[in-house]
Structure 1
């Protein structure tokens, strides 16, 4: 078996898991469950890992890290959208 096949399988599992978690958080009645800081950190790490993967010439990891960057961007957008929709707390 070619090693890239294992890498692609891992990529599919990881991205599917992240997307499933984002859907679960999106459906949660508590908008604070979507952490903007988590997605911001993921974006920075994914961008750096993408550069690293490019420098190593690893196509599997370049695509994987670009997909992770895309899920972090989507998560950030969803978190902002949910937090803007959240009702304001009652005045003290």
Structure 2
């Protein structure tokens, strides 16, 4: 994937009373999708952003896609987006450092 596009997705959940319920309602679908991305080599890392008390309040993902259309297709179908979990989303292009091992 030498011409692949790499992104850092930082997304914070809503802060309303139903935010955690929305997250939990689609969490299994989100994790299953993340697993598929990882198996295809498109998810390089990801995880929940925690508040000071250890509660999930958002997510961070390092992803790589062959082209913009592939990213857009994932983004449009991501359960945390379609399920109204993520409300403050930042997508930044990046170049991920991969050290030689």
Same fold flag (TM > 0.5): no
TM-score interval, normalised by the smaller of the two chains? 0.3 to 0.5
Structure with greater Cα Rg: 1
Structure with the higher helix share, 1 or 2: 1
Structure with the higher strand share, 1 or 2: 2
